[in-house]
Amino acid sequence: MTEFEKMRNQEFYDFTNSEGLTSYNRAKKICAKLQTMTTEDENYRDIIEQLIPNIPKSSTVAPPFYCDHGHGIHLGENVFINYYATMLDGGIITIGNNTIIGPNCQFLTPNHPINYIQRRKPIEKCLPITIGEDCWIGAGVTICPGVTIGNRCIIGAGSVVVKNIPDNCMAVGNPAKVIKNNLDVIDN
């Protein structure tokens, strides 16, 4: 198994491997192009599709935007990601249909060794992040490695999500805690 395959398979891998660095450098160059664009610019769609393959036409990522690879990001239909999102996509990041992401959110899949001697080595493992459908992730939210947020959830602004959140919940705080469930009631 290559180091890149180990990365995608949630195993410790050497992040200085040539395949990973090539992918990383490619994404950085594309992200740099995006920094001077708006979603209304003529070339925006071409550039974002180079970065995030198979991004649905109905989904939008507002620059500036930062990621490690781009091809580790899987977006559903009608996803909106606001300004200054950071997605460290060594692990797969999946965002379901009709989900909106506030500005300055971070999706962090890398996880470094706990042992300080091991942390001196250029190794990490990346755990996937999954966000369900019809979610609202407030401004400045940080989502940590391996977290799954269920369908129809709201994560309050500034929260740090370190554990899974079930469907139909509102979670806030650092660490984020569920403060309300059964959000499937329609507002009037």
| Catalytic residue list | 112
Q: Where are the alpha helices (DSSP H) in the chain?
A: 3-8, 18-34, 44-51, 116-119
Instruction: From 62, 55, 58, select the one nearest 34 (Cα to Cα).
Output: 62
Residue with tokens 């009631």: 185
Give the span between the Cα atoms of 126 and 27, in whole angstroms: 17
Residue type, 65: F
Q: At what angle do helices 44-51 and 18-34 cross, to 10 degrees?
A: 160
Cβ partners under 8 Å of residue 111, min gap 6: 124, 125, 126, 127, 145, 146
Instruction: From 105, 109, 35, 98, select the one nearest 69 (Cα to Cα).
Output: 109
